[in-house]
Chains A and B, each alone.
Chain A
Amino acid sequence: MADTAKPKGGGTARTTGGRRRSRKASTDAASTIADEQPKVLLDYYRQMLLIRRFEERTGQAYTQARIGGYCHLNLGEEATVVGLMTALQERDYLFTNYRDHGYAIGKGMSPRRVMAELYGRATGVSKGWGGSMHMYDTETRMLGGYGIVGGQLPLATGAALAVSYRGGDEVVMCQMGDGTTNIGAWHESLNIAALWNLPIVFVVINNFTGMGTTVEKSSAEPELYKRGSAFRIEGVRVDGRDVLAVRDAATDMVERARAEQRPFLLEATSYRMKGHSVVDPAKYRTKEQAEEAKANDPVLAFESQLEEAGVLTEEIKKEIAESVRAEVTDAADFAENSPHPEVSTLFDYTYATPVANESRRMPADPVFAE
């Protein structure tokens, strides 16, 4: 097992020690279910299940054409999402890519408003202007899902610059996929973050594919946590299907970024259960791979672990399933019954400072109506 207490450039870690306990010894054991408060475990379980059911409902609504555009789900990545979001304090900032629904909920946005955004309604988190790829909320400090691969990295780096400029103690977390580590913005951002000692944790969700291209085919160094070493950024790899391991590794990095004012790199190995987006049948995946993903379903795995440990009884399980189902139904109903944005607001969000002669021309309008 790897020990990240000392800066050794990381390694595959079941957990990286630390977490809620003080990070004292390099021999810190991995968190196990036995060490944890049942209440905490059940809360993680509930969150994972909520994201699972929310995404299933999203997929359904998409197929029924209630949701438009692209739609990238977090199915199979629930343990990673919940582990990461648990590691952040409320005051910490988050930037993600377009696979952002689970993160939005995990960071504290109401599932109602996330679903309403997917439905393109005025009650959505981005008032219906963003859609699936652009969840944003100032209050919970989810500073956006971004649709250009790697586009969020320079932004997140700049947010960390602002924190550092003001001497604040917030940390920025910047999520991305494995395919993102080959774009120029990755190199430029990690370099700047390291040069300027910025409090940011870059998190790579390595689900081993960017659309249909494998990590081996796209990254000359496919062990992605190692790529931080080019910038003297410590990197660690963690099993993203293990919520406790992700939480521990992420907490360790977030708190060190806060205390030491420097960037870190966390790689969480993960496996998306479905295609790249709802409409992708994932034909590039072998039958074995698909079955393996199913067999390693992180939600089911955590569920049986909790059952074995006696934390999750049949009764509690039913109760959680029921309340999650109700919450998702409520979210979908809320979205369905929310109004679309008024067409009269079309020109409201081009400029923050109103300006002379801004074009407010609708298709077919004459420029100079006399």
Chain B
Amino acid sequence: MSVITYRQALRDTLRAEMHRDENVLLLGEEIGVFEGSYKITEGLLKEFGERRVRDTPIAEEGFVGAAIGAAMLGLRPVVELMTINFSLIAIDQIVNHAAKIYGMFGGQTSVPMVIRTPGGGGQQLGATHSQNIELFYSFIPGLKVLAPSTPAEAASMLRAAIRDDDPVLFLENLGLYNTKGEVPDDDDTVAEIGRAAVTREGTDITLIGYSRMAMVTGQVAERLAEEGISCEVVDLRSLRPLDRETIVESVRKTGSAVIAEDDWLTYGIGAEIAASIQEGAFDYLDAPVRRVAMAEVPMPYAKPLETAALPSVESITTAVKETLNAVGRRVG
């Protein structure tokens, strides 16, 4: 076991997968000479050369589409989109092409590619650079959407994504890159796509999150444990397919749930989870399901406004306590 950052876990995995399979190549803006906007690809151009680590022009539709075409011929491109905000330029290629090609040609060709991209607020980047729009992609059958929250998960899920025969949108979060965690040495674990993880068992309430919010709900659970409240924490990890069973099973056990999401509330991923709980655990619910989400505004630049707009340990803790109060269990 080594303790490494989320960033390092991604880099190590990319390198190992490139050594393992000649068909894996990297494409993206500034991933080569510049070594990546967030330095995930540091050192890889030197190690693998321009054939395998390709700097692209600023043409998101063009190079995402080129990766799809290359994947149709059997390569396994891993595209880095500088941030998920720029995926909007490539959304036609992702939604109309990557996601559809397997189905609309009757299963004759698949698109084994990965789009890695960070998202998230909290860096004072303003309205166009602080979005979590994974919802757009999670809505689309044909895509697989992953959102790992720890270094170990980042590694095993990136391996799964690269070896999978379908297009995978692989979400990173700017707030996670420097987080550390234990990753087994010489690991070759491939995560199972479509499975959530119960990262902490508990009996009083279920906390559900993904990516950065899976980390934050874990912190909330730890804090509440000191007050004698037992939270079960579910890390979704896979937004499409969505593991409804694990969510529902947990809520049936605890009788209440709080969902934390880094995206906007209305029509958000939390709405889908709340609906699933309603369909699968209505009779078990002791209180309405609560959602803690990003404020529904274009993200402001000013620090106090930005901080207020994002879900936090405090706001989630409050929601948990209010939910438990509604259940009739007086806390805090």
Q: Can you spell out 15 A-B residue pairs with CB atoms less than 8 angstroms apart? A: A126-B108, A130-B106, A136-B105, A143-B72, A144-B101, A154-B66, A154-B69, A188-B59, A188-B63, A192-B57, A352-B166, A353-B164, A355-B193, A357-B243, A367-B244
CB pair B70–A351 under 8 Å, yes or no, is no
Complex CA–CA separation, A128 to B56 (angstroms): 37
The interface bits of chain B over 26-45 (1 if a CB of A lies within 8 angstroms of the residue's CB, else 0) are 00000000000000000000
In the complex formed, the residue of B with least CB distance to A162 is B73
Chain A contacts of B193 at CB under 8 A? 353, 355-356
CB pair A144–B164 under 8 Å, yes or no, is no
Complex CA–CA separation, A159 to B74 (angstroms): 9
In the complex formed, the residue of B with least CB distance to A368 is B280
Complex CA–CA separation, A134 to B195 (angstroms): 33
CB pair A138–B108 under 8 Å, yes or no, is yes
The residue from B72, B75, B164, B243 contacting A155, defined by CB atoms under 8 A apart: B72
In the complex formed, the residue of B with least CB distance to A156 is B69
In the complex formed, the residue of B with least CB distance to A158 is B69
Asked if A344 is at the interface (CB within 8 A of a chain B CB), the reply is: no
The residue from B96, B105, B241, B280 contacting A357, defined by CB atoms under 8 A apart: B241
Asked if B298 is at the interface (CB within 8 A of a chain A CB), the reply is: no
User: What class of interface size applies to chain A in its complex with B?
Assistant: 35 or more
Chain B contacts of A356 at CB under 8 A? 192-195, 241, 243
CB pair A148–B108 under 8 Å, yes or no, is no
The residue from B66, B92, B238, B279 contacting A158, defined by CB atoms under 8 A apart: B66
Interface residues of A (CB under 8 A from B): 93, 95, 124-130, 134, 136-138, 143-144, 146, 148, 151, 153-163, 165, 184-185, 187-189, 191-192, 195-196, 348-353, 355-359, 366-368
Chain B contacts of A189 at CB under 8 A? 62, 65-66
In the complex formed, the residue of B with least CB distance to A128 is B106
CB pair A157–B279 under 8 Å, yes or no, is no
Chain A contacts of B67 at CB under 8 A? 158
In the complex formed, the residue of B with least CB distance to A195 is B57
Asked if B104 is at the interface (CB within 8 A of a chain A CB), the reply is: yes
Chain A contacts of B72 at CB under 8 A? 143, 155, 158-159, 162
Chain A contacts of B248 at CB under 8 A? 368
In the complex formed, the residue of A with least CB distance to B50 is A196
Q: Which residue, B61, B109, B276, has most C-beta atoms of chain A within 10 A? A: B61
Least CB distance from B107 to A in Å reads: 4
Using known A-B contacts A188-B59, A357-B195, A368-B244, determine if residue A163 contacts B73 with beta carbons closer than 8 Å.
yes
Chain B contacts of A195 at CB under 8 A? 57
The interface bits of chain B over 44-62 (1 if a CB of A lies within 8 angstroms of the residue's CB, else 0) are 0000000100101101011
Asked if B25 is at the interface (CB within 8 A of a chain A CB), the reply is: yes
Least CB distance from B237 to A in Å reads: 11
CB pair A153–B242 under 8 Å, yes or no, is no
Chain A contacts of B104 at CB under 8 A? 126, 129-130, 134, 136
The residue from A153, A196, A357, A366 contacting B279, defined by CB atoms under 8 A apart: A366
In the complex formed, the residue of A with least CB distance to B109 is A138
Using known A-B contacts A165-B51, A191-B57, determine if residue A352 contacts B73 with beta carbons closer than 8 Å.
no
CB pair A157–B62 under 8 Å, yes or no, is yes
Give 7 nearest A-B pairs by CB, closest first.
A154-B65, A158-B69, A188-B62, A127-B106, A356-B194, A352-B110, A158-B66
Complex CA–CA separation, A351 to B238 (angstroms): 15
Asked if B245 is at the interface (CB within 8 A of a chain A CB), the reply is: yes
Chain B contacts of A188 at CB under 8 A? 57, 59, 61-63, 65
Complex CA–CA separation, A107 to B315 (angstroms): 61
Complex CA–CA separation, A307 to B25 (angstroms): 55
Complex CA–CA separation, A195 to B73 (angstroms): 20
In the complex formed, the residue of A with least CB distance to B89 is A184
In the complex formed, the residue of B with least CB distance to A117 is B106
Chain A contacts of B245 at CB under 8 A? 357
The residue from B56, B66, B102 contacting A349, defined by CB atoms under 8 A apart: B102
Chain B contacts of A350 at CB under 8 A? 102-103, 141-142
Complex CA–CA separation, A128 to B77 (angstroms): 29
CB pair A158–B102 under 8 Å, yes or no, is no
Chain A contacts of B280 at CB under 8 A? 367-368
CB pair A130–B62 under 8 Å, yes or no, is no
CB pair A352–B62 under 8 Å, yes or no, is no
The residue from A134, A351, A368 contacting B144, defined by CB atoms under 8 A apart: A351
Complex CA–CA separation, A144 to B111 (angstroms): 14
Complex CA–CA separation, A195 to B107 (angstroms): 32
Complex CA–CA separation, A136 to B267 (angstroms): 36
Least CB distance from A140 to B in Å reads: 11
Asked if B78 is at the interface (CB within 8 A of a chain A CB), the reply is: no
CB pair B165–A353 under 8 Å, yes or no, is yes
Using known A-B contacts A129-B103, A352-B102, determine if residue A155 contacts B62 with beta carbons closer than 8 Å.
no
Chain A contacts of B61 at CB under 8 A? 154, 184-185, 188
CB pair A151–B70 under 8 Å, yes or no, is no
Least CB distance from B158 to A in Å reads: 15
Using known A-B contacts A349-B107, A350-B142, determine if residue A165 contacts B75 with beta carbons closer than 8 Å.
yes
The residue from B25, B92, B164, B238 contacting A165, defined by CB atoms under 8 A apart: B25
In the complex formed, the residue of B with least CB distance to A161 is B70
Chain A contacts of B63 at CB under 8 A? 154, 188, 192
Least CB distance from B227 to A in Å reads: 33
In the complex formed, the residue of A with least CB distance to B54 is A196
CB pair B59–A191 under 8 Å, yes or no, is yes
CB pair B59–A352 under 8 Å, yes or no, is no
Chain B contacts of A159 at CB under 8 A? 69-70, 72-73
Chain B contacts of A161 at CB under 8 A? 66, 69-70, 75
CB pair B107–A127 under 8 Å, yes or no, is yes
The interface bits of chain B over 241-260 (1 if a CB of A lies within 8 angstroms of the residue's CB, else 0) are 11111001000000000000
Asked if B180 is at the interface (CB within 8 A of a chain A CB), the reply is: no
Complex CA–CA separation, A353 to B110 (angstroms): 9
Using known A-B contacts A144-B101, A157-B62, A367-B279, determine if residue A358 contacts B194 with beta carbons closer than 8 Å.
yes
CB pair B66–A151 under 8 Å, yes or no, is no
Asked if B71 is at the interface (CB within 8 A of a chain A CB), the reply is: yes
The residue from A130, A158, A163, A368 contacting B105, defined by CB atoms under 8 A apart: A130
Complex CA–CA separation, A138 to B97 (angstroms): 17
In the complex formed, the residue of A with least CB distance to B25 is A165
Complex CA–CA separation, A151 to B99 (angstroms): 13
Using known A-B contacts A154-B64, A185-B65, A192-B57, determine if residue A355 contacts B73 with beta carbons closer than 8 Å.
no
Complex CA–CA separation, A132 to B143 (angstroms): 24
